[in-house]
Amino acid sequence: MLSNRQIFQMNMGLPSVVNDPIEITHAKGIYLYDDKGNTYIDLVSGVSVSNTGHLHPHIVAAIKNQLDRYMHTMVYGKFVQSPQTLLANKLASLLPASLDSVFFVNSGSEAIEGALKLAKRLTGRTEMVSFKNAYHGGTAGALSLLGNEGLKQAFRPLLPGTRQLEFNNFEQLTAIDCHTACVLIEPIQAEAGIILPEKDFLKALRQRCDEVGTVLIFDEIQMGFGRTGSLFAFEQLGVVPDILCLAKAMGGGMPLGAFISSKTNMQALTSRPELGHITTFGGHPVSCAASLAALEVLLNEKLIEQASHKGQRFEEALISIKMVKSIRRVGLMLGVELDAEVPIGELLKHLQKHKLIVDQFLFHQHSFRIAPPLTITENEISEVIDMLTIALNSFDY
């Protein structure tokens, strides 16, 4: 009889940077536990999904409470379901007035798809602009605007009418013109290795979009919900998008995404055709209950305010390690760039042997991310820094 590990390896069909896949039996806080009795420290948070840690009791209680009431009842939007309305109201209260209408979906890719459709509907245009080294998801529309040809070529033809610009290139913003329906951008590029916008770049982008009537879409799927030291990254960047895309940490560990715009803009999806956008499971009541609880955890436990200090502790400790070339950081998200000769795949295996789970960026081959749950305590940070220091200094390359 095949083991779970063997079945996993047979079915995934994916290259792995780990020696042997870990079979997780349970998780708590920043810790993951496997079927062999090992304890690992999660420094990835499921790629920024588990911002509130694993099995936070407030979120678990909210899920169990909703399970006792109802799960799926009808296609999203057909019935009034209190978890959806409560969450939408809470989000609207935390966002600018121009972002007061929430359309719930299941994932980040779906949030991008909905945003692209809305932008086309609002402008009557078809051209879409995005940026090199951006990651927006794996569905056909999101993939069309993804900024890496290596992930796209095998699936062409994709959507026509797309154009790619260079992030932080002011001169190329003139390519956005009266034919451009939307500009899709990560205000902080994540899979590129944590690339921050240069001073006034987003303001210049906002101004250009306003000049030519182009819809500006922010993808905060990975950077939202406290990761950057503010609830949303755009709050500290001085620019408000026309459409905001969210997912990952939004669900508190459950699958949930959303695209958010003004009520006036969202009305464009209600006619010609009447069902301009629809989803069966988007806004699932259990996911929405978990999301509202996760928001309460972030706000009530002051996790957002602590993110930058916690991230700084990691940065100060790691920058002195010999193999570390530089660190790019925002809040509690670090892109640790290594010397080019460091074999990063082997390093990740080495760190796993030391019971540390880190992850490589898709579009920066010499960097790895450190993004533990925002719930990590000061004592846990001290423990992790000691473990990282020993592991990195003992790596022979």
Kindly state whether residues 137 and 214 are assigned to the same domain: yes
Which residue matches tokens 């755009």?
Answer: 234
Per-block mean pLDDT, blocks of 10 residues, the chain (397 long): 56 53 95 97 97 98 97 88 97 98 98 98 98 97 96 95 98 98 98 97 98 98 98 97 98 98 97 91 97 98 98 97 97 97 96 97 96 98 98 94
- For residue 333, give the nearest of 301, 361, 296 by alpha carbon: 361
CATH at residue 176: 3.40.640.10
Q: Of 238, 273, 300, which closes a domain? A: 300
End position of a domain, from candidates 240, 265, 300? 300
Find the domain containing 358 and state its range: 4-55+302-393
| Spatial CA neighbour of 218 closest among 248, 178, 189, 198 | 189
Q: Is residue 263 domain-shared with residue 307, that is, in the same domain? A: no
Same domain assignment for residues 307 and 293: no
pLDDT at 92: 97
Say what the pLDDT of residue 75 is: 86
How much is the pLDDT for 16? 47
Q: Are residues 167 and 222 in the same domain?
A: yes
Omega within 30 of 0 (cis) for the link into 197: no
User: Given this model, what pLDDT does residue 21 score?
Assistant: 85
Same domain? 102 vs 123: yes
Claim to verify: residue 240 and residue 338 sit in the same structural domain: no
264 and 374 belong to one structural domain: no
Residue 27: CATH number of its domain: 3.90.1150.10
What is the value of pTM for the model shown? 0.94
Q: Which pLDDT score is estimated for 77?
A: 81
Bridge partners, 124 (sequence order) = none
User: Is the domain of 101 the same as that of 222?
Assistant: yes
The phi, psi pair for 326, rounded to 5°, reads: -160, 165
Q: Could you give the number of structural domains in the chain?
A: 2
Contact 36, 64 (CB under 8 A): no
Residues 111/247, Cβ–Cβ less than 8 Å = yes
Q: 257, 285, 300: which is the final residue of a domain?
A: 300
Question: Does residue 91 share a domain with residue 10?
Answer: no
Residues 75 and 179 occupy one common structural domain:
yes
Q: Is 390 helix (H, G, I), strand (E, B) or coil?
A: helix
Same domain, residue pair 343 and 374: yes
Secondary structure (3-state) at 347: helix
Same domain, 169 and 226: yes
